[in-house]
Structure 1
Amino acid sequence: MTQEQGEPGADIRVRRKQRTNPTPKAGRNLPAAIVVGLGMLFFVLGGLLFLPLGFVLIVTAFGVFGVWEVFRALEASGTRVPIVPVMIGTAAMPVSSYFGGVESLLFAMMLSSVAALLWRSLDGAAGSARSIFAGVFTLAWIPFMISFAVLPLHTVAGETPVGLWPDGLIPPGAWQIATLLLLVVANDTFGYLVGASIGKHPMAPKISPKKSWEGFAGSIAGATLVGVLAAVYVLDEPWWFGAALAAGMVAAATAGDLSESMVKRELGIKDMSSILPGHGGVMDRLDSIVFASPAAFILYSLFAGA
């Protein structure tokens, strides 16, 4: 028994600490998470709807920070990523997507992978295979996948604006990306609220013990509501498209979340970093978006306007 437990009124002091602790059982500092999350959302949406190249640069910055976190985590575990070509590729892919479309993105990914291979080969054979694999994996996981969030903004060569949208008209691609972001936020928010309140059945206890089936159901319900409203009032699509889009986004975002949790568990870390109060690292926020972005791009390409 500790001294505090043996003192009169110790139980009262413990309960008072629990009441004043802003971190709930789900492991987040909720007030900080809300403030930081809303700030990032408004910042990103502001760039997307008013200054498209600014949005591209924001995506690039998030990608760079995410890659840096993964680089540090892998280095701490003994895997050296060829960071120079990986960082150059990270900065090039979103910009290539914006100005050149899918073909430019694929070319940038291929060129970055070859550069990582050649760069690491100059350091000798010891550990090179593991290092090259880690570099290509990082390129594919973060900058390549997140660049799909930029592709809907690409129009025709020579018409992609550098400044404001021409004539102040926001194109459909920007609204598609805005809907993607809102659905990812809805997935995280409703999943967290329901899971923290009534979550009892773990979805993947060996990977992410705090993620529950109840929270997943909350994500589906909340994202479906947001998706249907966005489809009808923002995208000018039928309601069923919003429901299908929401289901796809929740599935992709959950897969991204579990994938990052698996990587962190393999590396023996809780968060990629602590740069974002209440959230952890940048990758702890990007984990859902990197998987949801290509899924949304495919769904929009297949069904939008059908």
Structure 2
Amino acid sequence: MSEHSGDALHSGGFTTPAAAAAVVAPKSRAGRNLPAALAVGLGLGLSLIAILLFVPKVFIAVAAAGVGVATWEVAKRLREADVMVPRIPLIVGGQAVFWLGWPFGASGVAGAFAATTLICMVWRLFDHGLQQAPRNFLRDTAITVFTLAWIPLLASFATLLLLEPDGNLRVLTFMILVVCSDVGGYVAGVLFGRHPMVPSISPKKSWEGFCGSLVFAVIGGLLTVTLLLQANSMIGIVLGVGLVVVATLGDLIESQVKRELGIKDMGTLLPGHGGIMDRLDSMLPSAFVSWLVLSTLI
């Protein structure tokens, strides 16, 4: 999730509903309902830690549920903006992309992604019947494939990471580092933020916050990689820096999507955070980079 999730949003290239009404709740300088955000974040974090330590395979089901809700949130927002993504094959196929990594590894993920892409194309081609040509077919199918890659495909690397030796500890490591990045960016941004990083996309994200993310994530990487994974400390530095970069980019990507749709949050399920997708924006690319770094270097 972004270090500052309360960006001022404007309409972009789609016909959109009015921007979401402001939440009537105490907010921090960064735009969050801080007590609610802390309570929800702490509850989710402790629950996931317990699952990963004691029943790690249950994490797949929990993560799959999150992926399904996040995909539904994004599809709903897109359809509100008259982007007619085929929701049923997108959500069902997204679950196949995520789950098939468990028995079949990367081959299962790739096969499910290709099959779902084809089904979504055909579904959109004929969703108005055989006698009427679809409107905006190219735009809608391109955005559908983007959504499929953005959420289920990137999330599937968490499953692949879990299946490796000490996989539960690897997943826990990457999640801790994303939290370190988020917390470091939030603290440094609120206390010292003066220089906007990309004001045209996320006005409240600052370079000072980015530096705070780097400091927290590198320290977190050193500790988790050496203590949890019993690996070389340099891997922790590489992983920490890499996750800060991709988590920040993931945050900016979702901010731009929301800006173009003219909305503040993808959903309202998590008080103080927005929707599930608002919580996963930085986690998704981080899952891929964590799998790549840890599979290669350990």
Tell me if both proteins adopt one fold, taking TM over 0.5 as the criterion.
Answer: yes
Matched residue, 2:135:
126
One of 252, 260, 267 as aligned partner of 1:273: 267
Q: Please, which runs of 5 or more residues in structure 2 have no aligned partner?
A: 1-24, 128-132
Q: Percent identity?
A: 42
**Matched residue type, 2:151:** I
- Give the drift of 1:33: 0.6
Matched residue, 1:224:
218
Matches of 1:50 and 1:133, distance apart in 2: 40
Secondary structure in 2 aligned to 1:27?
coil
Report if aligned partners of 2:86, 2:120 keep a CA contact under 8 Å in 1. yes
One of 33, 41, 48 as aligned partner of 1:44: 48
Matches of 1:36 and 1:100, distance apart in 2: 34
Q: What whole-Å deviation, never above 9, does each CA across 1:8-51 have from its counterpart, x for those lacking one? A: xxxxxxxxxxxxx7311100011111110111112222222222
One of 220, 234, 243 as aligned partner of 2:237: 243
Report if aligned partners of 1:252, 1:291 keep a CA contact under 8 Å in 2. yes
The normalised TM-score by structure 2 is 0.88
**Matched residue type, 1:272:** M
Residues 48 and 93 of structure 1, relative CA distance in 2, 3 Å threshold: farther
One of 252, 255, 259 as aligned partner of 1:258: 252
Matched residue, 2:112:
108
One of 149, 156, 181 as aligned partner of 1:147: 156
Q: For the aligned residues, what is the CA RMSD? A: 1.2
**Matched residue type, 2:150:** W
**Going by fraction, where is helix more abundant, 1 or 2?**
1
- Give the drift of 1:125: 2.5
Would you say 1:77 and 2:81 are equivalent positions?
Answer: yes
Report if aligned partners of 2:267, 2:274 keep a CA contact under 8 Å in 1. yes
One of 202, 205, 212 as aligned partner of 2:199: 205
Report if aligned partners of 1:66, 1:283 keep a CA contact under 8 Å in 2. yes
Secondary structure in 2 aligned to 1:209?
strand
Matched residue, 2:21:
none
**Matched residue type, 2:155:** I
Matches of 2:220 and 2:85, distance apart in 1: 39
**Matched residue type, 2:29:** K
Q: Please, which runs of 5 or more residues in structure 1 have no aligned partner?
A: 1-20, 156-170
**Matched residue type, 1:61:** A
**Matched residue type, 1:139:** L
Residues 154 and 100 of structure 1, relative CA distance in 2, 3 Å threshold: farther
Matches of 1:194 and 1:52, distance apart in 2: 33
Report if aligned partners of 2:77, 2:266 keep a CA contact under 8 Å in 1. yes
Report if aligned partners of 2:66, 2:276 keep a CA contact under 8 Å in 1. yes
Matches of 2:162 and 2:260, distance apart in 1: 36
Q: What whole-Å deviation, never above 9, does each CA across 1:159-207 have from its counterpart, x for those lacking one? A: xxxxxxxxxxxx4111111000000001101100110111000000000
Matched residue, 1:57:
61
- Give the drift of 1:64: 0.8
Secondary structure in 1 aligned to 2:85?
coil
Secondary structure in 2 aligned to 1:52?
coil
Matches of 2:92 and 2:196, distance apart in 1: 39
The normalised TM-score by structure 1 is 0.85
Matches of 1:53 and 1:224, distance apart in 2: 28
- Give the drift of 1:273: 1.4
Report if aligned partners of 1:200, 1:212 keep a CA contact under 8 Å in 2. yes
- Give the drift of 1:52: 2.8
**Matched residue type, 2:168:** A
- Give the drift of 1:93: 1.8
Larger radius of gyration: 1
Matched residue, 2:103:
99
Matches of 1:25 and 1:110, distance apart in 2: 44
- Give the drift of 1:300: 1.0
Secondary structure in 1 aligned to 2:157?
helix
Report if aligned partners of 1:249, 1:295 keep a CA contact under 8 Å in 2. yes
Report if aligned partners of 2:97, 2:109 keep a CA contact under 8 Å in 1. yes
- Give the drift of 1:284: 0.9
Higher deviation after alignment, 138-147 or 37-46: 37-46
**Matched residue type, 1:151:** L
Matches of 2:84 and 2:30, distance apart in 1: 33
Matched residue, 1:10:
none
